[in-house]
Amino acid sequence: MSPKVIAEYSSQGWTPSTRLAKTLHTKVYLVFLDQPWRRVVLGMSIAKQQMRMHFYNHSGCSISPPFDVHSDPAAFVAILAAVMFGSRPCIGFDPTVTVKPVYPLRVS
């Protein structure tokens, strides 16, 4: 389905060994398999109202410091706006690769 960004939510706290982190890692791995033209895959996690941005490339992952969604709503809205309205290179797509859809052959 060509996801642009992966997001996970949990009411439990975040640690690198939680189900939320492992699920995010697995989904990003599947995005890289399905979309080899990606340079970066962005991930968002919200755990106990603490939001983190996860930046994945083919070498690994970098995670931002957490911030509280309720005490800093402007940052939350800015991140959502960048993800929703950002250009394709801004959210991780490689602009030097052109992908055209493959249509199945028609059998008469």
pLDDT tens digit string along 53-90?
Answer: 999 998 999 999 999 999 999 999 999 998 889 888 88
pLDDT confidence of 1, banded at 50, 70, 90? low
pLDDT given for residue 78 in this prediction: 92
Indicate the average pLDDT of the chain. 87
Q: What is the DSSP letter of 70?
A: T
**Are the C-beta atoms of residues 84 and 48 closer than 8 Å to each other?**
no
- pTM score, whole prediction: 0.80
**Are the C-beta atoms of residues 40 and 92 closer than 8 Å to each other?**
yes
